[in-house]
């Protein structure tokens, strides 16, 4: 299972560092570095997520899909800043999003296609794990069965998606329904160091 962060106070409050996310050999996976923590322990209140954003997440969930906040909005929430926008990622494909959840959304983009969802005056970018995991350079060389035996499939999906993101601090996933923030590339550690570390 994933390890949970410690919660000791350090330098005005912070999280205990985990092990390095660097694997021991090229192309290998180090699941021991995968961590999660309770968002409430770091002061992310439920009210920090706009009602319209929660509605988008709930609608995806009601249709049987997993949905998370991802990227810069999670980083900003951890820094106690008000995010300018909230990006969503889901286990639904873009086609499923349009056909079963948000029929009026628009699918845009060629290299990294997403759904633009307008809900009650707010615009959200919703991406799909099914799109992103096929576009991570080098993923085809990783033997997931060897290094992630017994790991939760959700962890593998989120880990693969984190590999494509530009900075580790933008590779955090937040599920406000179970109050968990997931970290697969030591993004929180880099955030605490005030670094925007390229993976």
Residue with the bigger pLDDT between 176 and 7: it is: 176
Is 149 noted as a catalytic residue in this protein? no
Instruction: Confirm whether 144 is domain-assigned.
Output: no
Instruction: Confirm whether 189 is domain-assigned.
Output: yes
Tokens of 164: 């494509």
Task: Give tens-digit pLDDT for 18-55.
Answer: 333 344 343 445 566 668 889 998 889 878 999 999 99
Task: Give tens-digit pLDDT for 5-26.
Answer: 543 333 333 333 333 334 434 3
Instruction: Give the mean model confidence (pLDDT) for residues 114-142.
Output: 77
Is 166 noted as a catalytic residue in this protein? yes
Instruction: Confirm whether 60 is domain-assigned.
Output: yes
Instruction: Give the mean model confidence (pLDDT) for residues 113-128.
Output: 95
Instruction: Confirm whether 4 is domain-assigned.
Output: no
Is 190 noted as a catalytic residue in this protein? no
Which candidate in 87, 161, 183, 190 is catalytic? 87
Domains in the chain, number: 1
106: domain CATH number is 3.30.460.10
Instruction: Confirm whether 78 is domain-assigned.
Output: yes
Residues 6 or more apart whose CB falls under 8 angstroms from that of 30 comprise 19, 20, 21, 22, 23, 24, 147
Residue with the bigger pLDDT between 84 and 149: it is: 84
Tokens of 105: 């959304």
Which candidate in 38, 85, 147, 155 is catalytic? 85
Predicted pLDDT at 67 = 96
Q: Which of 159, 183, 180 is nearest to 169 (CA)?
A: 183
Average pLDDT of the chain is 76
Instruction: Confirm whether 45 is domain-assigned.
Output: yes
Instruction: Confirm whether 5 is domain-assigned.
Output: no
Q: Is the pLDDT of residue 111 over 60?
A: yes
Start-to-end Cα distance in the chain: 24
Whole-prediction pTM: 0.74
Instruction: Confirm whether 23 is domain-assigned.
Output: no
Q: Which residue range(s) make up the domain with 47?
A: 34-136+154-196
């Amino acid at each position: 299972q994933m390890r949970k962060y410690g919660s000791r106070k350090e330098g005005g409050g912070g999280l205990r560092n985990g092990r390095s996310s660097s694997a021991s050999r090229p192309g290998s996976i180090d699941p021991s570095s995968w961590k999660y923590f309770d968002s409430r322990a770091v002061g992310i209140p439920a009210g920090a997520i706009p009602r319209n954003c929660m509605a988008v997440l709930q609608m995806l969930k009601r249709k049987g899909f997993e949905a998370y906040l991802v990227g810069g909005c999670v980083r900003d929430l951890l820094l106690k800043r008000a995010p300018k926008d909230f990006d969503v990622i889901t286990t639904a494909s873009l086609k499923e999003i349009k056909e079963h959840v948000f029929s009026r959304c628009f699918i845009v983009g060629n290299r990294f296609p997403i759904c633009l969802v307008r809900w009650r005056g707010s615009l959200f970018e919703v991406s799909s794990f099914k799109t992103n995991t096929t576009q991570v350079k080098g993923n085809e060389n990783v033997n997931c069965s060897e290094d992630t035996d017994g790991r939760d499939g959700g962890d593998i999906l989120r880990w693969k998606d984190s590999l494509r993101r530009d900075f580790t601090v933008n590779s955090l996933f937040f599920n406000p329904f179970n109050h968990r923030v997931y970290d697969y590339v030591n993004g929180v550690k880099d955030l605490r160091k005030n670094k925007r570390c390229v993976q």
